[in-house]
Amino acid sequence: MLGLAKKTADEFEAKFGYAPTGVWSAPGRVNIIGEHTDYNEGFVLPIAINRATYAAIALREDDTARVASTFSDAVVELNIAQLGEASGWAAYPLGVAHVLGASKGFDLFIDSDVPVGAGLSSSAAIECAVALGLDELLGLGNDRRALARIGQRAENEVVGAPTGIMDQSASLLGKVDHAVFLDCQSLEVENVALGFAAAALEVVIIDTRVAHRLNDGGYAARRAACEAAAKAFEVPSLRHLSLETLEAGRELVDDVTYRRARHIITENDRVLSFVAALKLGDFKRCGELMVQSHVSMRDDFEISVDELDTAVETSMRHGAVGARMTGGGFGGASIALCPIEKISDLTNSVYAEFELLGYARPDIFTVNAADGATRQI
């Protein structure tokens, strides 16, 4: 959207007193299926969405880095030698600059229409917009896969959130009307045609507004359980463990660890089945797999919350072909694959059910699969 790109350039100029050299955008993402599989070297199937973060950037002649955002009035200013010590929201953009090894100062302004903390990865959007822009201005020549790794490292090492490679891959490698089928072991990517528009289907997001915190412990605990299971079965990651081996060796781990591993193994299978079903245009099967995925996250991986369960169940009762919570869990959003003519009934029913149960009013909107990060101006 050029409107927001232009606005970001104007905001840069108002803040810093001169025009930026360029504006880069990177989309948020929603994961269609394959949750918590990324750090287990498994499969994921996100789409880049038609909501993005914009980074207006100019290099400076000195070694000062300044960053500002519509988030706050304050300008964060650091010497480029201290980029790795950035904290708060500035850790995302400055962490990227740190990992890129920025050798020059820069001014940076961020604006965005990706909802924050909704499971749509506003974090990857900001990282990838900054990574693409700074890489180009500094002439570093990283390709998109390398930039995805750089965004991930910024989030892991500077922000301190132990997230996988999925979000940045979707934001950088997304394609309009296609999903990003990513093998997190080989990092091979295939853009798989969705065919949703031709089937009169749309992806509905229900943001429960229950805040999720990836650096709060639940996410790290799930990672630790997966690592413990892999260790107990003497495999490098759960990617290498079959359901049969897990069942046969059930006594090697406690019940919780067993169920965590079972989610990862069955979820990997569901991603592969979903891709196969997409290629056949079998949306009924796609929907079944989404619901199975939700049940597995609710019961085996235990990362759902009541609001997400309600959103999924209500979606299924009101016309969705499939529905599941999406993102890291403990809040955030659910998605529904829904026939276009049933979206208003689904939406109204979810609002009504949430009100009945005394939950905060969710934010409900549709998204389309969009292209990955790009230079706008």
User: In this structure, which amino acid lies at residue 346?
Assistant: L
Among the listed ranges 8-16, 118-126, 196-204, 344-352, the one in contact with ligand ADP (CB under 6 A) is 118-126
Both structure tokens of 85:
């010590």
Select from ligand ADP, Mg ion, none the partner in contact with residue 117, using the beta carbon and a kind-dependent cut-off of 5 to 8 Å: ligand ADP
Cβ pair 158, 91 in contact under 8 A: yes
Enter the tokens of residue 276.
Answer: 């196969």
- Binding partner of 173, given Mg ion, ligand ADP, none, CB within 5-8 angstroms per partner class: none
The one segment of 111-119, 222-230, 304-312, 345-353 that binds ligand ADP by CB under 6 A = 111-119
Asked if 170 and 326 count as a contact pair (C-beta separation under 8 A), the reply is no
53 binds, among Mg ion, ligand ADP, none (CB under 5 to 8 A by kind): ligand ADP
Residue 89 interacts, among ligand ADP, Mg ion, none and using kind-specific CB cut-offs from 5 to 8 Å, with: ligand ADP
Active site residue 167: yes
- Does the protein bind Mg ion through residue 123 (CB under 5 A)? yes
Should residue 283 be labelled a site residue for ligand ADP when binding is judged by CB under 6 A? no
How far apart are alpha carbons 106 and 64 in whole angstroms? 7
**Residue 181 interacts with ligand ADP (CB under 6 A)?**
no
* Distance between CA atoms of residues 129 and 373, nearest Å: 6
Q: Please tell me whether residue 301 binds ligand ADP under the rule CB under 6 A.
A: no
Residue 171 contacts Mg ion per CB under 5 A: no
- Reduced to 3 states (helix: H, G, I; strand: E, B; else coil), residue 43 is strand
**Stretch 72-111: interaction string toward Mg ion, x if CB under 5 A:** ----------------------------------------
Sign of the CA dihedral 51, 185, 183, 40? negative
Q: How far apart are CA 74 and CA 66, in angstroms?
A: 10
Cα 252 to its chain centre, rounded Å, is 33
| The one catalytic residue among 111, 135, 167, 207 | 167
Torsion 343-345-348-354 (CA) sign: negative
Q: Give residue for tokens 């997400």.
A: 308
Which residues does the annotation mark as catalytic?
Answer: 167
Residues lying near Mg ion in the complex (CB under 5 A) are found at 121, 123
Residues lying near ligand ADP in the complex (CB under 6 A) are found at 53, 69, 71, 89, 92, 110, 112, 116-123, 126, 214
